[in-house]
Structure 1
Amino acid sequence: MADKIKFSLALVLLAAGVAGFYLLSEQAMILRVLAVLAGVAVAAAVAWKTAQGQRFFAFANESVVEARKVVWPTRKETMQTTAMVFAFVVVMALFLYLTDKSLEWVLYDLVLGWKKS
């Protein structure tokens, strides 16, 4: 029950930060943005104290650890892969264009006898 209250409080604080953005419409934009950021920060701090918040932040930390284990491709590998994808797209576009024009010729000129003028 306490977690539900904390989570509800976090949502209210988040809404208060967004409401502050609109209530401070006469003020400088930096103050309005800071109101939103403060609301988000305080809401995150309150949500962190819930069981769901603890599980979420543990999951986020595990995700960061797993992302560090990934072997990312080098710039050269990325450029080569991009070039291969681009070449495949060009070849497929050409193939589909030729297929379309061939079917158009067969259907309209040979089968139906409709000559284009």
Structure 2
Amino acid sequence: MESVDKFKVVAALLLVVVGVGGYYALPADQGVLRVLAVVLGLALAAMVMWFSQPGRSFVDYARDSVKEAQKVVWPSKKETWQMTGIVFLFVGVLALFMWLVDTGLAWVFYDLILGRD
């Protein structure tokens, strides 16, 4: 990363810090201005990052991610309901199994080994 890009990244971070600092510096009854300070700090930081190499790389990565997400074959409504049913069935069977194991172990330890009633 070039030194100019490092400067831009540091400047963007400082803008975020200034925005958050402005939030805490303004009186509590000025809620809109406090939020506006943070939003303005974030917007200015985004603008500075937009013109840096790491910012452009991030935008390219985001575009590629959106393109890849569009290639995904999403399941139909019917498939989604079927898989949801299978998951619920499995959870029910597993819960029943764990209850049986717990009850069995409690019986073995408390009734057979310790002889409690």
Instruction: Report the TM range for the smaller structure's normalisation.
Output: 0.7 to 0.9
Offset, 1:29: 1.7
Counting matched residue pairs gives 115
Do residues 106 (structure 1) and 108 (structure 2) align?
yes
Distance 1:77 1:34 in 2: 45
Query: Which residue of structure 1 lines up, in the alignment, with residue 115 of structure 2?
Result: 115
Describe the shift of the 1:105–1:47 C-alpha distance in structure 2 as closer, same or farther (beyond 3 A): same
Distance 2:107 2:28 in 1: 67
Residue number among 35, 40, 46 corresponding to 1:33 in the alignment: 35
Query: Which residue of structure 2 lines up, in the alignment, with residue 89 of structure 1?
Result: 91
Calculate the TM-score normalised by the size of structure 2.
Answer: 0.86
Describe the shift of the 1:106–1:26 C-alpha distance in structure 2 as closer, same or farther (beyond 3 A): closer
Calculate the TM-score normalised by the size of structure 1.
Answer: 0.86
1:87 match: secondary structure: helix
Structure 1 vs Structure 2 CA RMSD: 1.7
Distance 1:96 1:64 in 2: 42
Alignment of 1:1-117 (within 5 A): 1-110=3-112, 112=113, 114-117=114-117
